């Protein structure tokens, strides 16, 4: 998935970015931002430098999930400096949430203005050296997705992580996202099934709140890898609401091995997919 300078265009601020992953789903409410956040944290805990580009312009939730609300974006010679989430500067984040004067302000923009900001996020953010740039997208297959792909594709080949929940309604919508990937030539790294059962914190019994197995079946039908299932977990929810590092603070949680396994499969699968 690496590209030499000039192979896909003049890299500019993306020159130091090795891999770009788009987190997609045809349906809202499946946890794309959750998976984007926890994937970044899991990769960081494996020694990787990660950037997150939040192009969910109408619902920028990742600043809160990473405890970065209220931080400011600064300018440098190369453009905007992303917000660094940790002191080690191993996770950097760019989101429209940092540009709003009021966090409760609604982004009431038409397509051209959204597309222009996405292109600016790609060209004018000084990402520096990154192993991964994780791109959190809104639901669907519309303007923001096309603008993101058109802006990023000249610089690096792109991989897609497709998120679903187990129930048939979600799987049906996400199937359209896989069709979108095929039509646009977007390589699919794999499918992740989120909210896959609730593991009781007291007795460890798993209750399949939303049925089970839909994500794995979808991956098999589409001929793409199934990367794993992430259970509903109160500790994960609390860590996201409070902006805490779930991977560091809750290693005994039921969701921890699922998330670390998915991150490892992403690391293992990228070289083969883009060789």
DSSP strand pairing (91-95 vs 83-84): antiparallel
Is 29 annotated as a binding-site member?
Answer: yes
Is 200 annotated as a binding-site member?
Answer: yes
Token output for 16: 């130091």
Whole-number Å distance between alpha carbons of 210 and 119: 37
Whole-number Å distance between alpha carbons of 53 and 95: 6
Task: Give the chain's end-to-end CA distance (angstroms, integer).
Answer: 7
Is 203 annotated as a binding-site member?
Answer: yes
Token output for 165: 């929940």
Is 31 annotated as a binding-site member?
Answer: yes
Is 213 annotated as a binding-site member?
Answer: no
Token output for 59: 């619902």
Whole-number Å distance between alpha carbons of 92 and 127: 8
* Residue 190 near residue 265, CB atoms below 8 Å: yes
Q: Where are the alpha helices (DSSP H) in the chain?
A: 32-44, 62-65, 111-124, 143-152, 168-184, 214-222, 234-242, 246-249, 255-273
Taking each helix axis as running N to C, give the angle between helix 234-242 and helix 32-44, from 0 to 180 degrees, rounded to the nearest 10: 80
Q: Where are the alpha helices (DSSP H) in 45-189?
A: 62-65, 111-124, 143-152, 168-184
* Residue 211 near residue 169, CB atoms below 8 Å: no
Q: Residue 72, Cβ neighbours under 10 Å: how many?
A: 8
Q: Which positions make up the binding site?
A: 26-33, 200, 203
Q: Which positions make up the binding site for [4Fe-4S] cluster?
A: 200, 203
Q: Which positions make up the binding site for ATP?
A: 26-33
């Amino acid at each position: 998935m690496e590209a030499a300078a000039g192979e896909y265009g003049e890299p500019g601020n993306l020159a130091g970015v090795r891999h770009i992953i788009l987190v997609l789903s045809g349906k809202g409410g499946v946890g794309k931002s959750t998976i984007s956040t926890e994937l970044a944290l899991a990769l960081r805990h494996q020694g990787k430098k990660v950037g997150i580009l939040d192009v969910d312009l109408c619902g920028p939730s990742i600043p809160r999930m990473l405890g970065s609300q209220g931080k400011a974006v600064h300018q440098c010679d190369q453009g905007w400096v992303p917000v660094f989430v940790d002191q080690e500067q191993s996770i950097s984040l760019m989101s429209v949430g940092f540009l709003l004067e009021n966090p409760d302000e609604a982004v009431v923009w038409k397509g051209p203005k959204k597309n222009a900001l996405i292109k600016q996020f790609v060209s004018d953010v000084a990402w520096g050296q990154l192993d991964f740039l994780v791109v959190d997208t809104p639901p669907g297959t519309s303007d923001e997705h096309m603008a993101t792909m058109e802006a990023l594709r000249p610089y690096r080949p792109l991989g897609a992580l497709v998120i679903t929940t187990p129930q048939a309604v979600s799987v049906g919508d996400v199937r359209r996202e896989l069709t979108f990937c095929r039509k646009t030539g977007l390589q699919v790294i794999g499918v992740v099934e989120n909210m896959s059962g609730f593991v009781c914190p007291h007795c460890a019994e798993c209750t399949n709140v939303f049925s089970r197995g839909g994500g794995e079946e979808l991956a098999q039908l589409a001929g793409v890898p199934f990367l794993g299932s992430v259970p509903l977990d109160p500790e994960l929810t609390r860590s996201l609401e409070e902006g805490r590092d779930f991977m560091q603070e809750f290693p005994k949680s039921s969701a921890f091995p699922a998330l670390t396994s998915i991150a490892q499969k992403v690391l293992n699968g990228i070289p083969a997919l883009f060789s």
